[in-house]
């Protein structure tokens, strides 16, 4: 069934597109909780929290290298391209993502807030954040700017379980959500906080609420309209451009 088009979407001054792993699913990047989901195969306690990194940094970096390699073998889809086209037509399209894969940016989308960090950045406790855009394997696992005999492990710049979300990034996203006249949740189960609170926040401020997700989930009740289609199909249908 085709999506009920929001043909007047340009009339909304500020639109927030709040995205999750489902947006990348059709590219071949596994989601977290769906069929074949990452957390069904891996226990985050061993691969995606500070305790695991302190215990075994090699294992944690190996895991994230696998994810980088997978993402690099994938390409953005028509849905990503459509978001870029929407941004070209409307200055009020604000993208807030939970995704760390960088596929939106690879499609030329301007991302206002990367809530959970990125697979393509690392942190040194001395020198701070550094990009690592190497294909798959990290260029460095220890900080190359620190004296080699005491160079610390580089930690992926990712908001892992038990981590706090970067406050400045969160506040910026919250400000955009507060101004949203249309809030579109795309490919997220709404299971992880505080990000999951944005849908309720937008709804309470009277935003029009639209969900793009083939499946119903715990956050679905917050949305007034449900587009039960994959993102690559739903986005062009729901937000028509040209013609």
- Piece of the chain touching ligand APR by CB under 6 A; list 9-17, 56-64, 83-91, 184-192: 184-192
CB-based contacts of 57-64 (< 8 A; 24+ apart in sequence)? 57/141, 57/153, 57/155, 58/141, 60/156, 61/138, 61/141, 61/153, 61/154, 61/156, 64/119, 64/156, 64/158
Among 76, 102, 185, 230, binds ligand APR (CB under 6 A): 230
- Determine which one of 64, 94, 116, 226 is catalytic: 116
Tell me if residue 132 falls in helix, strand or coil.
Answer: coil
Number of CB atoms found within 10 A of residue 81's CB? 16
Ranked by CB distance to ligand APR, the top (closest) residue is 22
- In the complex, minimum distance from the CB of residue 165 to ligand APR, in angstroms, rounded to a whole number: 10
Minimum distance from residue 154 beta carbon to ligand APR (Å) = 20
Q: How far lies 17's CA from each of 97, 107, 199, 221, in Å?
A: 8, 15, 11, 18
Q: Which two tokens stand for residue 143?
A: 């900080």
Name residues whose C-beta falls within 8 Å of residue 151's C-beta, 6 or more positions apart in sequence. Answer: 142, 143, 144
Query: Which residues 190-219 are close enough to bind ligand APR by CB under 6 A?
Result: 191-192, 212-215, 217
Cis peptide before 116 (omega within 30 of 0): no
In the complex with ligand APR, which residue's Cβ is closer, 61 or 212?
212
* Residues within window 82-101 making contact with ligand APR, judged by CB under 6 A: 98
Binders in 33-62 for ligand APR, by CB under 6 A: 33-34, 37
Residue 94 annotated in active site = no
Which positions touch ligand APR (CB under 6 A)? 20-22, 25-26, 31-34, 37, 98, 116, 187-189, 191-192, 212-215, 217, 230-231
Positions marked active-site = 116
């Amino acid at each position: 069934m085709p999506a009920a088009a929001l043909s007047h979407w340009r009339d909304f001054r500020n639109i927030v597109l709040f995205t999750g792993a489902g947006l990348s699913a059709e590219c071949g990047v596994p989601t977290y909780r769906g069929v074949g989901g990452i957390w069904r195969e891996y226990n985050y306690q061993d691969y995606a929290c500070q305790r695991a990194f302190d215990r075994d940094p090699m294992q944690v970096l190996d895991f994230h290298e696998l994810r980088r390699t997978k993402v690099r073998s994938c390409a953005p889809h028509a849905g990503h391209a459509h978001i870029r086209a929407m941004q070209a037509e409307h200055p009020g399209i604000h993208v807030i993502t939970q995704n760390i894969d960088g596929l939106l940016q690879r499609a030329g989308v301007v991302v206002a807030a990367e809530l959970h960090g990125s697979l393509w950045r690392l942190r040194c406790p001395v020198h701070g954040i550094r990009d690592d855009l190497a294909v798959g394997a990290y260029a460095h696992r220890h900080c190359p700017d620190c004296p080699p005999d005491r160079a610390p492990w580089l930690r992926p710049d990712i908001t892992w379980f038990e981590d706090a979300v970067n406050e400045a990034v969160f506040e910026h996203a919250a400000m955009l959500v507060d101004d949203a006249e249309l809030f579109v949740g795309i490919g997220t189960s709404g299971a992880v906080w505080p990000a999951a609170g944005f849908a309720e926040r937008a709804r309470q401020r009277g935003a029009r609420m639209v969900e793009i997700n083939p499946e119903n989930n715990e956050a679905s009740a917050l949305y007034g309209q449900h587009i039960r289609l994959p993102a690559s199909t739903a986005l062009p249908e729901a937000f028509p451009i040209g013609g």
